[in-house]
Structure 1
């Protein structure tokens, strides 16, 4: 006589196997739709964040901190940039807890609206010349809200894709998500390059820099439509059928894993902002590159790095996540050591080569980051734990990177040796943490 399973267990088993988290390698239509909507939605949100990063290294010092010495103004501008990264762990924690409790899809709608609203307000913000100290104070608050929203968006959009994807294609699915960052960086840089080339210096500083932020009205509309069409993940729906356990207790069981995930992102987090945000300031402020020329260089570097991200995700499905991460660290090491020596040649093509190589190392690792982090934790705390791991790494290592690099250069008479040493330290930290983390490539998330 056949004994039937309880209804709850049957529902849970059906949910866990319907959306591609299987041993097979074919993606369902739902999984493909989740990847497409996740990548597009993430790219739209990263656009605003990327625009801010470029402007914090160029025009924000004179617009919001005009009474300071140029070096101090740049440090202050980078400090506001870092506020967005510091806010990410708090956003990751809050939205992670909400996502683990109420679902990934609902939270992602909220992060999109918050990011868009903060960005539009930055575009409408008066400068220091108009309202005094209120301007930089408001800029800090709005930048915090940007980071808070992105802290929930980063992991939420990844998990939406991971929990819809087949086990053997989770790496490439995550890579398709990760290219949202370099693609948005390209779009942001192209937009700023076009504005800088088409407007006079006075026009760009007066109102041209506001245009990308005000475009967020359209971004909100497109992003909302995209997100609205995505279904909730089967892993979360299956979890709802099981007895609830306190997220705090589960996190206490996995605190070591979360801590190692924070440390694992030291090198890619810090070196991304050193080779993009700090390098932009170094090229224009120290080496005399024109702003439009520097923006164009970043377009080339970020465009090429997209293929590195896809290659990293694809490779991780075949050779394992940890091997890909160690290859990425090796690439970063190879380009970091001569990085500033190459930039100091003042040759545009050599500078493009150095920055492109470093970014390819970062993006090669980013290609498998989503899968590596998702596979490290169980479903009940996957959103919260993954968000704390990634955003915590960005807060500790990425947020202070442009500020710290600028300060290290200033205390060493504009030398870059200490900046390089800091980069080498982050590579060592990441290498040790990755070594200690498990590699669960190809295993079902339910396991």
Structure 2
């Protein structure tokens, strides 16, 4: 298989999965709190809406176990087709969902069910996309290859926010709230069909093929993972907690925070988010490439340290004006957090042997995601009680980052020390 096709396949599905997932996050503060959870108190409506947002994160560990099992038993390719179907189908149905005014309580119930399906699907997608890239990577550039699926996060979010921004500009507020917001969700059907076509044309990774031919497959991957690699699962969870909370805030909750508590317009908040994500498109592949030479551990610790030091200044400055909001999103999200994220998939995958790599990688990452996914619920309560206090919000971020920083000191530098866990047969990839 050609390297370009493999990388495109890992990226294409990742883009669409994150497009769908963050599309929901964008709509939560702008649409769902009003149309599906109406109350007399806007803060309560927002809180209820973000509970469903968190439910999607809570469902991701289920997907990591389910699809990790399939991925470690049947293969990476088949699993990635299933996750696309689950994600795309649920997103399309959200675009067709009646509102609370039309069907009452049935509307939020159906919304939560579809959100759970989204979360389960994404719980299996991320790890599979990472392995599709890294298990095909030639020797010496695994960090670069592992960073390519990570581009799906900013690309998917940019696509989602751009679609919302475009519809917002082309419609009145009444039109946007009535039918305009549905269009980006309905577009998922077309995008998913395209991604499935791309992925159906690739072969199984050489690493898994060799593992399967040996007959040495895990009977119950989650059991074997916890028995033999439980420490690395816990390590991955702890390493993700700190930057995970910051990520959820800057890529989702910032829309509600900026509009409801800082007084910015919806368009300004969306533009700031788009700027941060656009910056990530440059940062991620560059840092991914550098991680093969500098070391993933070094970059990871450096990024977490900078996030810790600038946590409070970030919240101070984003309230100072539009220019500062744009600048801080570009620096904190687009450069510093992106540097951490670019190395994360490769670093975590190198902690696990081939026979349970899909499960170990996915479970560690997604259990952390389930925890940080309820950040918006916590932050809404914090803002209601303390307002947009930089010390309260910055202090919250620093607590999570401190945990990850301590753990990162003790993680092995997988760039060199555990490279043998990846079969060298990956070098059969054509140029």
Class of the TM-score when normalised by the shorter of the 2 chains: over 0.9
Q: Give the corresponding residue for 1:112.
A: 84
Alignment of 1:433 onto 2:407? yes
Post-superposition Cα deviations, 1:72-118, rounded to whole Å, max 9, x if no partner, equal 11111111111111111110110001110000000100000111110
Q: CA RMSD in A?
A: 1.4
Residues in 1 aligned to 2:22 and 2:266: alpha-carbon distance in whole angstroms:
16
CA contact (8 A) 1:61 1:73 kept: yes
Alignment of 1:236 onto 2:208? yes
**Aligned counterparts, 1:159-178, within 5 A:** 159-178=131-150
Post-superposition offset of 1:251: 3.0
Which of the residues 348, 351, 355 maps onto 1:380?
A: 355
Post-superposition offset of 1:418: 2.0
CA contact (8 A) 2:236 2:364 kept: yes
CA contact (8 A) 2:239 2:405 kept: yes
Residues in 1 aligned to 2:308 and 2:282: alpha-carbon distance in whole angstroms:
20
Which of the residues 315, 325, 338 maps onto 1:351?
A: 325
Tell me the TM-score normalised to structure 1 length. 0.91
Alignment of 1:184 onto 2:161? no
Residues in 2 aligned to 1:165 and 1:68: alpha-carbon distance in whole angstroms:
54
Post-superposition offset of 1:190: 1.0
**Aligned counterparts, 1:408-423, within 5 A:** 408-423=382-397
Q: Give the secondary structure class of the aligned counterpart of 2:409.
A: helix
Q: Give the corresponding residue for 1:279.
A: 254
* Count of matched residue positions in the alignment of Structure 1 and Structure 2: 417
Q: Give the corresponding residue for 1:103.
A: 75
Which of the residues 76, 96, 107 maps onto 1:124?
A: 96
Residues in 1 aligned to 2:402 and 2:139: alpha-carbon distance in whole angstroms:
30
Please say which of residues 428-437 and 387-396 is displaced more in the overlay: 428-437
Alignment of 1:268 onto 2:243? yes
Alignment of 1:289 onto 2:303? no
Residues in 2 aligned to 1:143 and 1:245: alpha-carbon distance in whole angstroms:
31
CA contact (8 A) 2:297 2:414 kept: no
CA contact (8 A) 2:315 2:393 kept: no
CA contact (8 A) 1:261 1:433 kept: no
Q: Give the corresponding residue for 2:429.
A: none
Alignment of 1:316 onto 2:291? yes
- For structure 2, which runs of at least 5 residues remain unmatched after alignment? 425-431
CA contact (8 A) 2:73 2:217 kept: no
Residues in 2 aligned to 1:109 and 1:413: alpha-carbon distance in whole angstroms:
44
Q: Give the corresponding residue for 1:154.
A: 126
Q: Give the corresponding residue for 1:256.
A: 231
Relative to structure 1, the CA distance from residue 205 to residue 432 in structure 2 (aligned partners, 3 Å threshold; closer, same or farther) is: same
Post-superposition offset of 1:336: 1.4
Relative to structure 1, the CA distance from residue 185 to residue 245 in structure 2 (aligned partners, 3 Å threshold; closer, same or farther) is: closer
Q: Give the corresponding residue for 2:282.
A: 307
CA contact (8 A) 1:39 1:180 kept: yes
CA contact (8 A) 2:225 2:360 kept: no
Residues in 1 aligned to 2:37 and 2:75: alpha-carbon distance in whole angstroms:
42
Tell me the TM-score normalised to structure 2 length. 0.94
Post-superposition Cα deviations, 1:163-206, rounded to whole Å, max 9, x if no partner, equal 11023101011111101100111111111111111100000000
Post-superposition offset of 1:411: 2.3
